């Protein structure tokens, strides 16, 4: 068994030495066997727009390298559950996995995905032209372990922004997209229900969609992450933010808003069934892509600012290699192929994939122009938001016990929107339960 692996490693190293696979599109060495024939790679990620798009290109990878790729994209909760179980048992079931943002603390922290620096530094495995430094530092810092080693390559800078499917209705009301929280209720009240379209919606993962409002009102999740993890969910600012956010959902959202998952929100936006949302750029920009019925009437803006400032949430997910994988070199080949400048540029040009993490692509003039929809300069909004996030307010999200607090926020907002609790009660409960959960996870408060 070990002999086979060594042989494969030599073969793989030898081929990448020619740098052929880092630049897809070039013909493989004439007369040679395909470098990865006989290798089966198990690759999985949650069903975000980028992985779904990548599926279209994987047959090219298979044709070039001779590898067989088993590619699965379950929904977000199922993916995280499965991956958590698989990684925890050091299973060899997967070779390339998505390192989900909120689990970075757990998965990277526990060493379940291996450091990639040796692969990057090795010129036989990674040609210099691949340029690992091209990725936004804001996105790579998240994936560094305690020793500073990079453990995943980011495939998305998932930025929050505002998007409207029926900007025409907003303009008809004589208003524009809100730039501050103060403008939001006015705009939503004016357009809610016009043409049968409810005004507002976000996905029911409130642990993700709410913190932008929380921080905008001057609140936060923890006192000073990553060192001081005392939750501060019951401060007056937090309660005000929760009340404000829940109010929007209560007054201007469609019926059953609490049950809308991210893919349902995307479907609703694309078909014009709901007007305005503060959601991921990768989601809202689908309104401007083919397959949407609102390409002519969609509009975009930065995430609104609150009294304490503008805090658009930015997440990043990345490709990593599990510690138990038996095809690590082949896995790295896949990652270099998938994250190569050439492929990402093609994905942008052919399908409009725009939440790119390579600065070189984002700074291209054509990126700018292609991401201008109906006069809205989305590229600029994207870049501005990525710069904002570098300030560090996202630190709360990568502490290992964050998933438990994330759920408490979900529960709190659901309780307020459904009328079961007041904002005060719900946030106080979230505070209590988060402290209990953190203590249980061994955090010293």
Partner 1 sequence: MAAGSTAWSIEQRRAFTVGLVPALVVLAVVTLGPAIYLVVTSLTPLTPIHPGSGLDFSTPFANYRQALFTGSFDHSVWLQCELSAITVGLQTLLGVAVALLLNSESGFMRAVRTGFLVPMVLPPIVVAIIWKILYTPDVSPVYAMLGAFGLRPGALITSPVWALPAIALADTWEWFPFTMLMVLAALQMMPNEPIEAARIDGASAWQMFWYVRLPFIRPALMVAVLFRLIDSIKAFPLIYVLTNGGPGQVTEVTNYYAFIQTFNFAYWGYGAAIATLMVAGVFALSLLLARLGAVAPDDA
Partner 2 sequence: MMRKPAVASGAGRRARRRRVRRGLAQGGAAVLLLAVLAPVLWLVLMSFRPSGATLAATLAFTPTLANYRALAGGGFPASFANSLMASTGSTVLSLLIGVPAAYALARHRFRARGRIAMWILVTRMAPPVAFTIPFFLVFSDLGLIDTVPGLIIVYLTFNLALVIWTMRGFFASIPASLEEAAWIDGAGVWSTFRRIALPLAAPGVAATGILCFIMSWNDFFFALILTRTNAMTAPVAIVNFMQYAGWEWGKIAAAGVLVLLPVLAFTFFVRSYLVSGGMAGGLKE
Q: Which residue has the tokens 């998938």?
A: 338
Residues 348, 345: Cα–Cα separation, whole Å: 5
Q: Which residue has the tokens 């450091």?
A: 115
Rule CB under 8 A: say whether 324 interacts with partner 2. no
Rule CB under 8 A: say whether 85 interacts with partner 2. yes
Cα dihedral 290, 373, 244, 172 sign: negative
Smallest separation, CB 292 to partner 2 (Å): 12
Beta bridge partners of 301: 162
Q: Which two tokens stand for residue 271?
A: 């078909």
Cα angle at 421 between 419 and 423, to 5 degrees? 100
Residue 162 half-sphere exposure toward CB, CA atoms < 13 A: 28
Helices and strands in the chain, H and E counts: 21, 12
Rule CB under 8 A: say whether 261 interacts with partner 2. yes
Residues 184, 275: Cα–Cα separation, whole Å: 13
> Residue 358: which of partner 2, partner 1, none does it interact with, CB under 5 to 8 A by kind?
none
Smallest separation, CB 321 to partner 2 (Å): 18
Name every residue whose Cβ is closer than 8 Å to that of residue 307 and which is 6 or more positions away in sequence: 181, 216, 217, 218
Stretch that binds partner 2, among 74-82, 195-203, 325-333, 408-416 (CB under 8 A): 74-82
Residues 331, 39: Cα–Cα separation, whole Å: 10
Rule CB under 8 A: say whether 403 interacts with partner 1. yes
Q: Which two tokens stand for residue 285?
A: 């920009």
Rule CB under 8 A: say whether 322 interacts with partner 1. no
Residues 206, 225: Cα–Cα separation, whole Å: 20
Smallest separation, CB 17 to partner 2 (Å): 33
Nearest residue (CB) to partner 1, 105 versus 306: 105
Smallest separation, CB 43 to partner 2 (Å): 11
Rule CB under 8 A: say whether 411 interacts with partner 1. yes
Asked whether 200 and 277 are in contact (CB, 8 A), the reply is yes
Q: Which two tokens stand for residue 103?
A: 């689990």
Bridge-based pairing of strands 96-99 and 40-44 is: parallel
Beta bridge partners of 42: 70
Rule CB under 8 A: say whether 289 interacts with partner 2. no
Nearest residue (CB) to partner 1, 147 versus 259: 259
Smallest separation, CB 307 to partner 1 (Å): 28
Smallest separation, CB 197 to partner 1 (Å): 12
Cis check for the bond before 242: say yes or no (omega within 30 of 0): no
> Residue 267: which of partner 2, partner 1, none does it interact with, CB under 5 to 8 A by kind?
partner 2
Rule CB under 8 A: say whether 120 interacts with partner 2. no
32-71 binders of partner 2 (CB under 8 A): 42, 47, 70
The count of residues interacting with partner 1 (CB under 8 A) is 36
Smallest separation, CB 254 to partner 1 (Å): 8
In the set 28, 66, 74, 84, which binds partner 2 (CB under 8 A)?
Answer: 74
Nearest residue (CB) to partner 2, 268 versus 381: 268
Residues that bind partner 1 in the complex, under the rule CB under 8 A: 77, 80-81, 84-85, 88-89, 106, 110, 204, 254-259, 273, 400, 403-404, 407, 410-412, 414-415, 417-421, 426, 433, 436, 440, 442
Residues that bind partner 2 in the complex, under the rule CB under 8 A: 42, 47, 70, 72-75, 78, 82, 85-86, 89, 91, 93, 261, 263-264, 266-267
């Amino acid at each position: 068994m070990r002999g086979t692996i060594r042989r494969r490693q030599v073969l793989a190293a030898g081929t990448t030495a020619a740098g052929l696979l880092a630049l897809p599109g070039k013909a493989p060495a004439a007369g040679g066997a395909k470098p990865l024939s006989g290798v089966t790679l198990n690759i999985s990620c949650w069903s975000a727009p980028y992985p779904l798009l990548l599926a279209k290109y994987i047959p090219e990878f298979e044709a070039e390298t001779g590898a067989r790729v088993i590619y699965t994209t379950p929904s977000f909760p199922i993916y995280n559950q499965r991956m958590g179980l698989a990684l925890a048992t050091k299973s060899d079931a997967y070779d390339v996995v998505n390192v989900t943002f909120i689990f970075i603390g757990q998965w990277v922290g526990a060493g379940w995905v291996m450091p990639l620096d040796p692969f990057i530094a090795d010129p036989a495995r990674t040609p210099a032209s691949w340029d690992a430094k091209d990725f936004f530092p804001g996105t790579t810092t998240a994936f560094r372990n305690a020793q500073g080693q990079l453990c995943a390559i980011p495939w998305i800078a998932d930025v929050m922004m505002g998007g409207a499917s029926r900007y025409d209705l907003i303009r008809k009301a004589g208003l524009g997209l809100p730039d501050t929280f103060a403008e939001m209720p006015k705009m939503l009240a004016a357009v809610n229900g016009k043409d049968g379209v409810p005004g507002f919606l976000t996905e029911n993962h409130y642990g993700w969609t709410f913190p932008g409002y929380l921080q905008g009102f001057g609140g936060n999740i923890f006192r000073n992450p990553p060192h001081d993890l005392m939750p501060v969910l019951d401060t007056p600012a937090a309660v005000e933010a929760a009340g404000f956010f829940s109010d929007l959902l209560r007054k201007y959202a469609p019926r059953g808003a609490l049950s809308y998952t991210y893919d349902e929100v995307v479907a609703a936006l694309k078909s014009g069934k709901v007007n305005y949302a503060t959601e991921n750029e990768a989601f809202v920009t689908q309104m401007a892509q083919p397959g949407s019925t609102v390409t002519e009437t969609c509009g975009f803006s930065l995430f609104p600012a609150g009294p304490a400032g503008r805090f658009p949430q930015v997440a990043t997910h990345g490709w990593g290699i599990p510690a138990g994988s038996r095809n690590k070199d082949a896995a790295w080949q896949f990652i270099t192929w998938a994250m190569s400048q050439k492929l990402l540029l093609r994905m942008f040009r052919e399908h409009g994939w725009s939440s790119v993490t390579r600065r070189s692509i984002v700074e291209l003039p054509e990126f700018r122009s292609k991401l201008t929809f109906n006069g809205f300069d989305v590229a600029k909004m994207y870049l501005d938001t990525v710069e904002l996030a570098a300030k560090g307010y996202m630190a709360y999200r990568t502490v290992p016990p964050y998933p438990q607090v994330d759920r408490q926020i979900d529960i709190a907002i659901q309780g307020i929107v459904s009328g079961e609790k007041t904002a005060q009660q719900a946030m106080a409960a979230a505070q209590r339960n988060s402290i209990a959960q953190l203590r249980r996870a061994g955090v010293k408060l």
